[in-house]
Amino acid sequence: MLRPVALLPIAALTLAACAESVPTRIGADGKPVPVIYRIGPGDLGRIQFRMLDSVNALRARAGSPPLQLNAQLNAAAATQSRDMSFQGRPWHFGSDGSSPVTRARRAGYQGRLMGELISETFETELETLAAWMAEPETRSVLMDPAARDMGFAFHQDPNGKLWWTLTTGNPFESGFTPTYDRVPPPRGES
């Protein structure tokens, strides 16, 4: 008899098989030609819930409680994704000097911000999640058992580049992570 946890990978593979597939084109060099992952205006909710479900499946395997989407953290993540595109770099600080904590406060989040993950890529949200899971620092944000809320958003440039932002928080704790409270001073200043 299969345990429920053992069914998660089978369910994930079944869902992946249902996804639309794009035929692979081979370039002159014999390698697959990259395909731009285009996201339509009505895809936000579907993408957010696919990421939430995927993160929660990974958290369940690790024994961490599930996360729920939070509108304020979604708004803070959307602000960061647009701003990273504007700045042209993946960076935790906004063009106005805002930190992840500041953006969460501005969006009205009353709990404690636990972490923020960012990515500049042409990859899908699930490929980005796999990359985050491959690194100990970013994996620890995703698997933090104290986190209960998640925000997730993106911005796509006209050339197809994606700017992903995922935030986590705990609505039951007050205060904010002190390491994000201020922007480091420019070089040469103290």
Q: Tell me the pLDDT tens digit for each residue of 125-165.
A: 999 999 999 999 999 999 999 999 999 999 999 999 999 99
Q: Angle 44-62/136-143 helices, nearest 10 degrees?
A: 90
Strand order across the 149-156 sheet: 68-69, 149-156, 162-170, 112-121
Q: Report CA-CA distances (Å) from 91 to 35, 81, 140, 163.
A: 26, 10, 19, 10
For residue 21, what pLDDT is reported? 52
pTM over 0.95: no
- The dihedral region occupied by 109, where left means phi > 0, alpha psi between -120 and 50, and beta the remainder, is beta
Packing angle, helices 44-62 and 125-134, rounded to 10: 30
Residue 119 has pLDDT above 90, yes or no: yes
Give the Cα separation of 180 and 107 in Å (integer).
16
